[in-house]
Every structure is written in structure tokens, then in C-alpha cells.
Structure 1
Amino acid sequence: MQETQIDIPPPPSPPPADLIARLRLRGLLAGEGAEALAGGRSNRVWRLSGGLVLKLYDPSAATPIFANDAGREAAALIALAGIGLAPELVAAEPAGQAPWVLYRHLPGERWVEGAGAVGRLLGGLHRQPPPDLPAGPDGSAALAGQGREILALCPDDAGLAALEPKGEVAPAGRRVLIHGDPVPANIVVGPKGAALIDWQCPALGDPAADLAIFLSPAMQLIYRGAPLDPAEEQAFLAAYPDGRVIARLRALLPWFHWRMAAYCQLQAGRGQTPYAEGLALEVSALQRSLKK
């Protein structure tokens, strides 16, 4: 009888011993043990003793939409210290060959429901004084440029080049601190409310970009298991405090969906199979947005 072979994933690797030794030498780590944390798709993350989280960066994981920059994370956590929107930074080494950040664990559960809380969370974030960060894309031309840059990395564009939206929405000229990746896996709901983790791609940008990432059907599918339904979308937008940003989001939706469709095609081509379904969702959303 032929035996069935089952692929068993390798056990999570521990953090580098030399880095742990350096943290101990600096007095930042006293206890033993490291638990690998699931959820991150770009970097390796461990929960250490004393309520600390260590993130070891893979700089090659950056994409045209999602930067992967330890320096940006450190700058954002410093700027947001003490207000409950982000973890507390303990230490960072963003300029080395293997960049890392160390921060205090933020207690809570990954967000899965209650979209209004996320609207309020992003509204509060976008009012904060911004640190010195790179500029994010602003306006339809910049979003389209990112989409073309992504498609240039794809062996097959799946017909997306022909779907690029027409027309133009001018830059807003308003730049606020944006998280850059507010997907469900990066939103923690704890005793003090909702907060954001995984700050590897913040920017000074159009706040509509954060709203678009959260509303993205592909990102909701991949990180929560299902897109938002119309009632959830409405609750999210109703809770966000700035109607001007919502109006801008609606004007830019075709470009946001087209850019995300390109990203899904890139990731699907790299073997990330859930993104194939995400691509179909984004194309459908793009077509709906063009009819409005």
C-alpha cells in the first residue's frame, strides 16, 4: 500500500542567539524563552519574557505599496508614545544588516468585528502630530504609477493594464501620519480600546489611503476571512470624523482597487494562493466603483 506523504511545516526558528545576547547585555531582557508569533507575512516576530515583542526585519519584503522599514516603525512608535494608539518602543536597531525593533506587547485580540471602532481609531491617528517620514502617494496619478510599478514585477498582468482607470483626481496636498497597512491583523482590541501594531510602512500621506486599505475586500479576505459587508462599511465610514476624507476616498476608489488588484496579482504569482481570490474581489470592486 502506498503511504500518503503529508507536508509538515518546519517548527518556528528561535530569534538569533547573538541578538538575544546583545539585548541581555544592554539590560533589556532578563528572562528566558521566545514564542514565535503568527500573522506576520513580511518579518519574523517573537514574544519574549517580560512582555516584550521582538521583530526582525526582512528588508527584501518591501513592495511598492507596503514599505518594510524598521526606521519608520521606530519613528512612528516614538511619535505616538503614551497615547494608546501603538505599542511602546523599547529599543531599535534599524540601520543594521538585520534591522530589528523591540517594543512592549500590546494586550488584546485581533480585530474581527466592530468596524466603527476602526473608523474612530484611524480618525484619532490622523489628527496626531506627524514625525519626519517619507511622503506617501497623493492623487490618482501617483496611485496609478504605483500600480504600474507593481505590474512591471509580474510576469503576467492578468489583463489589469487594460483596466487602469481613466481621468484624474488631483493631489490633496494634505499630509498626515498614516499607518499604511491597517488590515485586521494589525488592529488589536484590548481593555483600553483599539490600537495599531506593525508600523513598518507609515508615511506622511493622504488619510484616504488608510481608509482604502481597511476597506479593501482582498485585505479583509486574507486577514479576516471575508470582506466587509455593506453595513460594516457604512459603520466604518460613519465613525470616521472627517467627511472631506471620505469624499476623497470615494473619488479615488477606482485607483485604490486597481492598485490593490495589481498587488494581489504580484503576490499570487509568488505562490501566495489566497491572493488569487483577492484579485477577483478587487476587480469586481473596481468595476462597481466605475459605475458610481
Structure 2
Amino acid sequence: MFGGRTNTAWKGECGSEAFVAKLYSGPARNPLFPNDPDAERRLLLALADGGNTPVFRAQLQTESGVCNLYDHIPGEIWRDGVTDVARLMADLHAHPCPEGLRTVPDGSDALLKQGQEILSKSSDSPTLEALKPLGHVPASNLRRLLHSDIVPGNLIRNTSGLFLIDWQCPATGDPCEDIAVFLSPAMQFLYRGAPLTEEQIAAFFDAYGHPETATRYRALTPFFHWRMATYCHWQTDNGRTDYGAALTLELEALQRSLNSNPT
């Protein structure tokens, strides 16, 4: 199967039922998106009654690594319809959190620290250093269930609705984390070829339905864009040439956010 950027997956059949076998590549070198097969197993089991995630079947230890088996969800990768994503995300954030999940960085200081850690693994970037946001947004101390990688490639639409797949890096914390990854110009460009428009972003928040979260996200926007820019820079350093254009888009969004969020 194609689409994943970290692990390898195959579609198989057992009788009349189709399933996915995802072979994990091992602990992620990725500084932003972890890769944990046990976390995926726990989350799929915890969300089994929701109907918007694959049904987990088994976990196998193979000579090549850990392999999770779950039901295949037919359909197309999401390309439009931000209101459906917003409602799916709001439902997820209202779900009880299973135990044992990691916690995402919370607040501007933690986001800057994570971005700086990503930069430490990359070549020098005077542009990123110069655009590092100032100011302070305190931690929310929220504990919401997060997918933490809600990009178009992990959203599948069919006649039954919208489904969220690839749960290898779930977490708890500030719901702005999921929102920032989905709205990221870089991630939208890499998976569907173009960033979301301002009108689409406004429609997303209208459908999400939590004005206080929208307000907090806007305050954190420069910090999220800066962190994502450091990640794109790291990817280009590691030979992922498609992240070059993604980095440019994220830097442009960062500059706009700095202009609209003066310190």
C-alpha cells in the first residue's frame, strides 16, 4: 500500500474480509512524530466503539519487526470538507484518554524548546533563528486525547463517513496540537498539493465549536509555524526534497502570523 511515510503496509484478505498488515520500521528517528506499535494497538482498542477508526485484530512479532493487523477501510484520502474533519476532531478530543500515552509540548515555551531540539539535529538556519517568535503563551494543562498526526493522508472518506487511520503517535494534551498539524500549510501541501485558504480555516473553527480553543490556537500560531518550519528544515537536511517547498509555505505563514501577532 502507498501513502505512508514511515512504515510499510500491505492489504490482504481473509475470506471476504480485507485487512491491513502494518510492519513497523522501528523506533522513529523523526523528532516530531513518534512511531509506537503498542500505542496504536491500545488506541484502536480504546476507540473500537466509536466507528471512525479501523478495528484492531492482532499484533505479531516477526523477524522484521512488530506488525499490527487491523481491518482495511476502503475509500479515498481526504481532499476537501474541513467541517467534517473539525467535527471528527472535536469528538476525538472529548473522548476519555487511555493510560500510558505521551504528553505533547504545551504552551509557547515548550513548543520553542521542541523546535530548538529539532534545529540542533539540523544544519544552521539563520532564517529560522531570526524568525523565532517572542512572547509567552502559558501551558493549558489540558489532557485531551490526541492523534497528533491528523494530515490528509491519515483521513479516509467513504460512503459511511470520515475515518482516522495511522495511530502510531497518539498523545494527550492541548487540542491545539492536532489543530496545528492539520492546518499546517506544509502538511496540507505535502498531502494534497495546496494549503488551506483563510475561508477554509474559518469554516474549520466554526465547525469545531470551541471558541476558547480557537482563541488559544491563534495566540500560539507563530510558535506552531516556527516548530513546523524547523521540522521541514530537518527533513530537507535528510534528503526529503519535497519538504523544500513545504518549508517555504510554512515560513510564509510564520511571517504572516508574526505580523498579525505583534509582541
Residue of structure 2 aligned with 1:153, choices 110, 121, 144:
121
Residue of structure 2 aligned with 1:83, choices 50, 72, 79:
50
Give the equivalent residue in structure 1 for 2:30: 63
Secondary structure in structure 1 of the residue aligned to 2:65: coil
Aligned runs of 1:238-257 on 2, under 5 Å?
Answer: 238-257=206-225
In the TM superposition, what is the alpha-carbon distance from 1:61 to its structure 2 partner? 3.1
* Counterpart Cα distance in 1 of 2:232 and 2:118: 10
CA 242–185 in structure 1, closer or farther in 2 if over 3 Å, else same: same
In the TM superposition, what is the alpha-carbon distance from 1:59 to its structure 2 partner? 2.2
CA RMSD between the two structures: 1.6
* Counterpart Cα distance in 2 of 1:190 and 1:129: 26
Give the equivalent residue in structure 2 for 1:195: 163
Give the equivalent residue in structure 2 for 1:43: 7
Per-residue CA deviation, residues 100-126 of structure 1 (Å, 9 max, x unaligned), is 211001122110011111111101110
CA 159–291 in structure 1, closer or farther in 2 if over 3 Å, else same: closer
In the TM superposition, what is the alpha-carbon distance from 1:97 to its structure 2 partner? 7.1
Per-residue CA deviation, residues 39-82 of structure 1 (Å, 9 max, x unaligned), is 00100011011311011111243422111111111111111002
Whether contact under 8 Å (2:37, 2:66) holds in the other structure is yes
* Counterpart Cα distance in 2 of 1:124 and 1:254: 26
* Counterpart Cα distance in 2 of 1:38 and 1:81: 25
Whether contact under 8 Å (1:107, 1:190) holds in the other structure is yes
Give the equivalent residue in structure 2 for 1:231: 199
Identical positions, percent: 47
In the TM superposition, what is the alpha-carbon distance from 1:95 to its structure 2 partner? 11
Give the equivalent residue in structure 1 for 2:180: 212
* Counterpart Cα distance in 2 of 1:273 and 1:171: 34
CA 61–223 in structure 1, closer or farther in 2 if over 3 Å, else same: same
In the TM superposition, what is the alpha-carbon distance from 1:217 to its structure 2 partner? 0.3
Residue of structure 2 aligned with 1:141, choices 109, 118, 131:
109
Whether contact under 8 Å (1:158, 1:265) holds in the other structure is no
Q: Which amino acid aligns with 2:21?
A: L
In the TM superposition, what is the alpha-carbon distance from 1:253 to its structure 2 partner? 0.5
* Counterpart Cα distance in 2 of 1:73 and 1:43: 13
Which consecutive unaligned segments of at least 5 residues does structure 1 have?
A: 1-36
* Counterpart Cα distance in 1 of 2:230 and 2:221: 14
**TM (normalized to structure 1)?**
0.84
Secondary structure in structure 2 of the residue aligned to 1:61: coil
Q: Write 1 or 2 for the structure with the bigger share of strand.
A: 2
Whether contact under 8 Å (2:27, 2:34) holds in the other structure is no
Whether contact under 8 Å (1:71, 1:94) holds in the other structure is no
Whether contact under 8 Å (1:261, 1:282) holds in the other structure is yes
**Structure 1 residue runs of 4 or more that deviate by more than 3 Å after TM superposition:** 93-97
Which consecutive unaligned segments of at least 5 residues does structure 2 have?
A: none
* Counterpart Cα distance in 2 of 1:54 and 1:72: 16
How many positions carry a matched residue from both structures?
Answer: 256
Structure with greater Cα Rg: 1
* Counterpart Cα distance in 2 of 1:87 and 1:240: 23
Give the equivalent residue in structure 1 for 2:226: 258
In the TM superposition, what is the alpha-carbon distance from 1:280 to its structure 2 partner? 0.8
Q: Which amino acid aligns with 2:191?
A: Y
* Counterpart Cα distance in 1 of 2:62 and 2:139: 32
Give the equivalent residue in structure 2 for 1:127: 94
Secondary structure in structure 1 of the residue aligned to 2:156: strand
Secondary structure in structure 2 of the residue aligned to 1:99: strand
